[in-house]
Amino acid sequence: MSDETRLREQICLLARSIFERGLTGGSTGNISARTADGGLLVSPTGTSFGRLDPARLSRFDAGGVLIDGDPPTKEMPLHTAFYDTRSTAGAVVHLHSCHSVALSMMPDVDEDDFLPPLTPYGLMKLGRVKLLPFFLPGDPAMGQAVRGLAGKRSAVMLANHGPVVAGRDVEAACNAVEELEATARLAMLTRGLSPRMLTDAEVQAVVTAFDVEWEE
């Protein structure tokens, strides 16, 4: 089995796992990963995470030209923005996960630090998450907003829409976006209950111990 065949199957396996656990539904969400030759494999437009076909993934060459597979997701500007601004990005995942979207609708959420410091794991896998404003689905302005962060964030939350996370590979990106949704779920479950969050000192201890990318 070639490396690319293995990557195609991994993308579809992880996407199906995400779908089956209700983290994105219907034909929502999109996923991409770097190939060994510098190209991209991308989920096609209008497809379900639960039914991706490895042979029909959109295949781009290193110059960004579609060379095989079905037409790609309309959210390509989001994906390319991360790849172009973060040299460590090997995969990008975008979901319409329920609790993170709900949290994005709350009026008092910190735009520069979307997730409250409830556990160390959100910090370790995501750093600080930027809340971006609402854009129409497919609007290239979403990609421009990500580019405006100059590669300083590995994850953003699109208000009233869903999270977008870049990782070193497709497994890391999926793990991180799942952690984002889990932390958002905790935030919604404890909302109004005055939970004991990590202190500033505890946050800094996590950042230091695990070498977390922490853009102020």
Which of the residues 4, 9, 20, 75 is marked catalytic? 75
Assigned domain for 158 exists: yes
Check if 121 is active-site: yes
Please give the residue range of the domain that contains residue 45.
3-209
Counted domains in the chain: 1
**Nearest Cα residue to 30 out of 16, 43, 40, 11:** 43
User: Does the CA dihedral 173-155-17-206 come out positive or negative?
Assistant: positive
Assigned domain for 205 exists: yes
pLDDT band of residue 216 (cuts 50, 70, 90) is low
Mean pLDDT of 133-144: 95
Check if 75 is active-site: yes
Assigned domain for 171 exists: yes
Assigned domain for 215 exists: no
Residue-wise pLDDT for 41-68, tens only, equals: 999 999 999 999 999 999 999 999 999 9
CATH number for the domain harbouring residue 160:
3.40.225.10
Which of the residues 20, 83, 121, 171 is marked catalytic? 121
The pTM is what? 0.96
Assigned domain for 214 exists: no
Assigned domain for 64 exists: yes
